[in-house]
Amino acid sequence: MSNENATSGEYYYNINTGEVEEGRVSSWESRMGPYATREEAAQALETARKRTDAWDDADKEWRQN
């Protein structure tokens, strides 16, 4: 896929289509990343969920102290 905004080695997860894109194909409003690999980009939502859960747990712990 050739795109003037494509950056070699950067992958993004498009939250609207659920597809991984190489380079800055879509608007910043529609993409998560950049990620170093296609596989990391494909796991973007799961990675975000895990981070959010960890932050929520840390916040609960902080509030209890």
Query: pLDDT value at position 5?
Result: 55
β-pair partners for 22 = 11
Give pLDDT tens digits for 12-63: 999 999 999 999 999 999 999 999 999 999 999 999 999 999 999 999 999 9
In a domain, 6, yes or no: no
Q: Is 44 within the bounds of a domain?
A: yes
**Residue 43 domain flag:** yes
Query: Residue 65: what pLDDT?
Result: 81
Q: H-helix or E-strand containing 59?
A: helix 44-64
The number of domains in the chain is 1
Q: Is residue 4 part of a domain?
A: no
b/e code 16-55 from CB counts within 10 Å (16+ = b): eeeebbbbbebeeeebbbbbeeeeebbebeeeeeeeeeee
pLDDT at 1 over 50: no
Strand residues in 10-64 grouped as ranges (E) = 11-14, 20-22, 31-35
